[in-house]
Structure formats: C-alpha cells, structure tokens
Amino acid sequence: MKKIQELVDWIDDELEGAKCYAEKYVYKKAKGSQWAGTFHQMAEDELRHAEAIHQLAVEEIEQLNTVFKAPEEMQAKWDESHKAYVEKAAWIRQMLAM
C-alpha cells in the first residue's frame, strides 16, 4: 500500500500548489494586477494534476480490491484522504471563482 500513500502524498503536493497559486490570484486580483489571470491559470493547472492523480489512485485501489480486500485501517486512511481531497479542491475552486 506504499504506492497508494505515494499517490496520496502527490495529490496533496498538487493541491498545496493549487492553493498557493489561488491565494496569489485572489491577492493580485484585489490589487488589479495583470498577473491575476496567470496565477488563476496556474492554480487550475495544479487542480487538473491533482484530479488526474486522484483518478489514478481510485483506479489503483479498485484494481487492488479485485485481488484482495484492504484492511479496515487502510480503507479508513484512503476514505479520510479522499474526503480531504474533495474539501481542499472545493475550497480552491471557491477562491478561483472570486
């Protein structure tokens, strides 16, 4: 399950990048800076990366579930990571909608 943890960490890294760019977007937009659009696009790119990696993780887990049932603890960790992903991505999208 080390592979799944690597994917979760990778998703987190992409979301952190998206959050950073989204915060810069909001700041630059508030100042009327021409850079706001650039940061918006960069945040969108990072979100797309996170979404792609998340989909990869879902597929990996589904594939593993055909071979064996994951222990409850492992499934709980994934469920927690998935919930955090959904919440963080939604928050970032809210910032980008400003």
Along the 98 residues of the chain, how does pLDDT read in single tens digits?
A: 688 889 999 999 999 999 999 999 999 999 999 999 999 999 999 999 999 999 999 999 899 889 988 788 888 888 999 999 999 999 999 999 99
Residue 8: the pLDDT is 92
Structure tokens at 20: 């950073």
Q: Where are the alpha helices (DSSP H) in 32-71?
A: 36-67
Is 88 within 8 Å of 14 (Cβ atoms)?
no
**The pTM is what?**
0.90
CA angle (34, 35, 38) in 5-degree steps: 125
